[in-house]
Structure 1
């Protein structure tokens, strides 16, 4: 009888332990179906340039179906105009030392540092470290995630000057808005 009680206690403990363990998953970014759209504009002019940049790698981490982390590498050499666009934006200029200096800094990185799920709006508040041109700064943005479709959508702006993205001509630099807008459409 004593052996039966001890066996039941061990089994109950094992069942309870397995129930409190968190379910962790990792999702790899589908590079062919994921894009990062960018838009830059002029300060006082009604004109803008926009296009896309591709990812090299990406991963989302979840615990119990909640996003807990993420890490993405962006291929800065892939900066381009919008696909099928007849507009010829200043792509080569964006790649040179006046802006992103992609020869020296071919990658940018985004690493989530904290994620907060907001159930009332079904969105995620994401805190991340963004590294561009070897400079890492913290940013915050909001994302919509569809767990069934395995999609992640975010829309945010950064102040380019925080990462040293400046035109080497003061007058022309002031003519360019400090804000760069990004829209991420990610598929896992």
Structure 2
């Protein structure tokens, strides 16, 4: 009986310590998330674009980041650089070859806390152009809290640096364009 009372008291005093991992669905319907990219154009400026159609989810465990995970699936045909001719070229077999590879995806294999300020290191497998490669990048928590509709939201942002040639895309745009930066902004709604 005495041990039961002590255990109940500890549970009442430290509910956060026993909190379960939280599952979130990325809010793509409300346009509160985005997958963007940028690549250097001839060393003079940046060409930017986005994927308009994607879905994702993540698990967040503040007490144990080893339980954290993230998955994203991107419809590559939804690529949009605000220039129809360029978009057709980027969707062609010179680059994404969306007819053959209509999806790209990322699935984490591990997440570790970098600091107490909300930064994490994510490792996982990126599948692009039919090739799967391990990638590693940092994400930062932007914020979390109640939304006006009675739900709870949590948001993160990060950037993956990748070389298209590593994924079998060998169209030469010059050395300045050898690296693409994939920017991820995820706002999730707790389920």
Is residue 75 of structure 2 the alignment partner of residue 75 of structure 1? Answer: yes
Offset of residue 187 of structure 1: 1.1
- Provide TM-score, normalisation by structure 2: 0.76
Is residue 165 of structure 2 the alignment partner of residue 161 of structure 1? Answer: yes
**2-side partners of 1:11 and 1:103: how far apart?**
62
**2-side partners of 1:34 and 1:56: how far apart?**
9
Offset of residue 64 of structure 1: 4.2
**2-side partners of 1:52 and 1:127: how far apart?**
22
Q: Report SS of the residue matched to 2:76.
A: strand
**Residue 20 of structure 2 aligns with which residue?**
23
Offset of residue 123 of structure 1: 0.5
Higher mean alpha-carbon deviation, 129-138 vs 66-75, is at 66-75
The question of whether the paired residues in 1 share the 8 Å contact of 2:52 and 2:80 is answered with: no
- Provide TM-score, normalisation by structure 1: 0.77
Pick aligned residue for 1:150 from 154, 169, 177: 154
CA pair 118-178 structure 1, distance change in 2 beyond 3 A? same
Offset of residue 119 of structure 1: 2.0
Q: Which ranges in structure 2 are unaligned for 5 or more consecutive residues? A: 146-152
Offset of residue 29 of structure 1: 0.5
Give runs of aligned pairs for residues 99-118 of structure 1, distance below 5 A.
99-118=95-114
- Matched positions, count: 172
Q: Which ranges in structure 1 are unaligned for 5 or more consecutive residues? A: 1-7
